[in-house]
């Protein structure tokens, strides 16, 4: 499977669950809850938001990742979608800009604000992660034996 096919399936899998506008609305609402320090709303919105992204990656896209020989495991970052591993390389697509989490702490992010990515920004970051994994796979495939 080519990188473009993988990205198209990744995008389609997430758009089967919600359209881009709905993903963006959830990001905006959750980001605003952090900015206003509305802990109750954060606790209401954060788990289903994270779970939606993670469920699509782990279950809806399972066959795609298996065919690309990419293992999908739990994320290490509080705003990670999953840990993706292929050919000894690991990448973790995130739902926020890495510098906005103040060391990855969910609590600190609430105090200082967090910048969640839009759907398109998340897809671009996810694409970069996949490019990294698949580029390594393609480079290893081209090595002389």
pLDDT in tens, 21-71: 999 999 999 999 988 889 999 999 999 999 999 999 999 999 999 998 999
Are the CB atoms for 68 and 1 separated by under 8 Å? yes
Residue 15 lies in a domain: yes
CA 40 to CA 97: how far, in whole Å? Answer: 23
List, for residues 68-111, the tens digit of each pLDDT value. 899 999 999 999 999 999 888 999 999 998 765 544 444 444 44
CA 81 to CA 117: how far, in whole Å? Answer: 12
Are the CB atoms for 96 and 117 separated by under 8 Å? yes
Helix, strand, or coil (residue 19): coil
Query: How many domains are contained in the chain?
Result: 1
Residue 145 lies in a domain: no
Could you tell me the residue range of the domain that residue 72 belongs to? 3-140
CA 93 to CA 122: how far, in whole Å? Answer: 8
């Amino acid at each position: 499977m080519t990188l473009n096919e993988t990205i198209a399936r990744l995008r389609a899998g997430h758009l089967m669950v919600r359209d881009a506008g709905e993903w963006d609305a959830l990001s905006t609402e959750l980001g605003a809850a952090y900015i206003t320090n509305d802990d109750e709303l954060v606790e209401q919105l954060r788990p289903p938001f994270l779970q939606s992204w993670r469920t699509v990656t782990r279950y809806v896209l399972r066959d795609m990742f298996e065919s690309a020989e990419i293992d999908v495991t739990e994320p290490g970052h509080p705003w990670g979608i999953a840990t993706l591993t292929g050919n000894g390389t690991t990448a973790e697509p995130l739902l926020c800009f890495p510098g906005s989490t103040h060391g990855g702490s969910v609590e600190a992010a609430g105090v200082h604000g967090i910048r969640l990515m839009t759907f398109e920004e998340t897809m671009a970051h996810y694409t970069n992660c996949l490019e990294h994994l698949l580029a390594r796979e393609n480079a290893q495939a081209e090595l002389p034996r």
